[in-house]
Amino acid sequence: MTGSERETDPSPLWLWRLRTSAMGAAEFLERLEAAWESGEGDVSTCRWLAGSITGLPQDPAGDERATVEILLAGNEAPNTAERDRLIRTAMAGGRSAAASGKEIEIHDEPPQRLAPRDWVAESQKALPPIAVGRLFIHGSHDRSRRRGYGLDLEIEAGEAFGTGHHGTTLGCLALLEAMARAGQRMRPKRILEVGTGSGILALAATRLWRVPVIAGDIDPAARRVVTAHMKTNAVPRLAAAKGIGPGILPLVAAGTGHRSIREGAPYDLVIANILRGPLIAMAGELVRPLAEGGRLLLSGLLARQMPGVIAHYRARGLVLERTLIIAGWACLLLQRPAGICGHRRLPAIAPARTS
């Protein structure tokens, strides 16, 4: 995909900075994003694009401070009342303050509008390629580094989340690649992804198995991005939900209620890399289209959140096959048993590498 074809967000960009203790910065950023995604701040004027932490000292257990930076896109930045609601929600129940015995202070700066620049292109330059077993994922700036194995994917940073560098996506890629190496016994015939984002996992599945994949996301921007990535990677579009052969059908869909998703069921593999809250709330909805013997790949939750999520799926008859934790983020592979189909061991997980 050329620079002119790349999906970008035409809305103004804003940088929101908050100063907090270095020790509590990571947990605060996690909680702030969760509050935003859950609608706690009731912010409808802009979208969360990315969050990061800068200025971390070598010893974050000290009293030094760090800066949490949030990149937003929209015509208006959150006002003071909206930001206060988000911060209060993020602070509620935080563990870092209790662990340190100190109250963690947050210094909120009004978001600053950023000058027009090609932020997508600049961010891509900082993203190295990723190698996960046979999969090699890169941006357009690293085309010359393709390995030629037939499992290369070109994914651009842009509107929709997912370049493969986050621990949740890396974990899903690693488990998908391990399933593919397991051979026919773990080969899915039809796949559904809920919350596809950039489409990286759907695209990886088509590379690994050359099977039909339905990829849904509630954000219309995601369908545009997935379609562009399909074109870049020469992945055909499925003509119908029950289509055969390799390809992807990108949909604007909330959950699994879309007509095409229902028509395409049952699925041998359902993928959902979303947040802990939706994973729990949608447990029944995600299990329902799963075929007997089919597998469910879940991520978007922290390692400490695993027990609660696993319990909801065990209550629906699923068996936990494998867990994988990367940078504190957990991925779960569960199976709906069928007949004598029992627990099977996965091959060793291929380490994810950047180069």
* 293-320: pLDDT as tens digits: 999 999 999 899 999 999 999 999 999 9
Q: Which of 117, 140, 163 is the last residue of a domain?
A: 117
- Residues 271 and 253 occupy one common structural domain: yes
- Residues 239 and 344 occupy one common structural domain: yes
- Residues 284 and 197 occupy one common structural domain: yes
What is the spatial distance between Cα 200 and Cα 175, in angstroms, rounded to a whole number?
14
* pTM reported for the whole predicted model: 0.67
- Residues 277 and 309 occupy one common structural domain: yes
76 belongs to a structural domain = yes
- Residues 233 and 349 occupy one common structural domain: yes
What pLDDT score was predicted for residue 176? 96
What does the pLDDT look like over 53-82, one tens digit per residue? 776 554 444 557 788 889 888 888 889 998
182 belongs to a structural domain = yes
Q: What is the CATH number of the domain that holds 321?
A: 3.40.50.150
What does the pLDDT look like over 105-154, one tens digit per residue? 788 899 999 877 665 556 555 567 888 888 988 887 777 777 766 688 88
* Count of domains observed in the chain: 2
- Residues 63 and 189 occupy one common structural domain: no
8 belongs to a structural domain = no
* Model confidence at 11: pLDDT above 90: no
Average pLDDT, the chain: 82
3 belongs to a structural domain = no
What pLDDT score was predicted for residue 157? 67
What does the pLDDT look like over 216-249, one tens digit per residue? 999 898 999 999 999 999 999 998 888 888 999 9
212 or 326, which is more confident: 212
- Residues 148 and 67 occupy one common structural domain: no
What pLDDT score was predicted for residue 132? 87
- Residues 85 and 127 occupy one common structural domain: no
37 or 287, which is more confident: 287
Q: Which of 85, 117, 149 is the last residue of a domain?
A: 117
4 belongs to a structural domain = no
240 belongs to a structural domain = yes
44 belongs to a structural domain = yes
Query: Side by side, which strands form the sheet with 247-252?
Result: 247-252, 212-217, 191-194, 267-273, 290-302, 329-335, 319-326
What pLDDT score was predicted for residue 55? 65
- Residues 282 and 338 occupy one common structural domain: yes
Q: Which of 117, 145, 170 is the last residue of a domain?
A: 117
* Model confidence at 101: pLDDT above 60: no
Task: Give the residue numbers spanning the domain of 54.
Answer: 13-117
Residues in the chain, overall count: 355
- Residues 168 and 106 occupy one common structural domain: no
What is the spatial distance between Cα 330 and Cα 255, in angstroms, rounded to a whole number?
21
- Residues 64 and 177 occupy one common structural domain: no
* Model confidence at 282: pLDDT above 50: yes
How confident is residue 322, by pLDDT bands cut at 50, 70 and 90?
Answer: very high
77 belongs to a structural domain = yes
**pLDDT > 70 in the chain, percent:** 79
- Residues 111 and 138 occupy one common structural domain: no
Q: What is the CATH number of the domain that holds 67?
A: 3.30.70
